[in-house]
Amino acid sequence: MTLGFEEVRLRLPHIELAAQVYGPEQGIPVIALHGWLDNAASFARLAPKLSGLRIVALDFAGHGHSDHRAPGAGYALWDYVHDVLLVAEQFGWQRFSLLGHSMGAIVSLLLAATFPERVQRLALIDGLIPPTAEADAAVTTLADSLRAQLALPAKRKPVYPSLEKAAQVRQRGVGHVSFEAAELLAQRGLMPVPGGYTWRTDNRLTLPSPLRLTRKHARAFVSALSCPSKLLVAEHGLLAQREGLGDWLVQTAIQVEYLPGGHHLHLDDELGAQLVADCFNPFLNAP
Residues 6+ apart with CB under 8 A from 152: 203, 204, 207
Torsion angle (degrees, nearest 10) of CA 49, 55, 84, 238: 0
Supply angle C-alpha 109, 257, 77, rounded to 5: 20
Active-site residue flag, 102 = yes
Residue 189 CA neighbour count, 13 Å, CB half: 30
Give the span between the Cα atoms of 82 and 91, in whole angstroms.
15
Residues 6+ apart with CB under 8 A from 92: none
Q: Which residues, in sequence order, are bridge partners of residue 7?
A: 20
Q: How many CB atoms lie within 10 A of CB 74?
A: 14
Q: Which of 42, 66, 102, 178 is catalytic?
A: 102
Helix H or strand E segment including 144: helix 138-151
Give the span between the Cα atoms of 247 and 71, in whole angstroms.
42
Give the span between the Cα atoms of 104 and 259, in whole angstroms.
19
Q: How many CB atoms lie within 10 A of CB 224?
A: 13
Known catalytic residues are 102
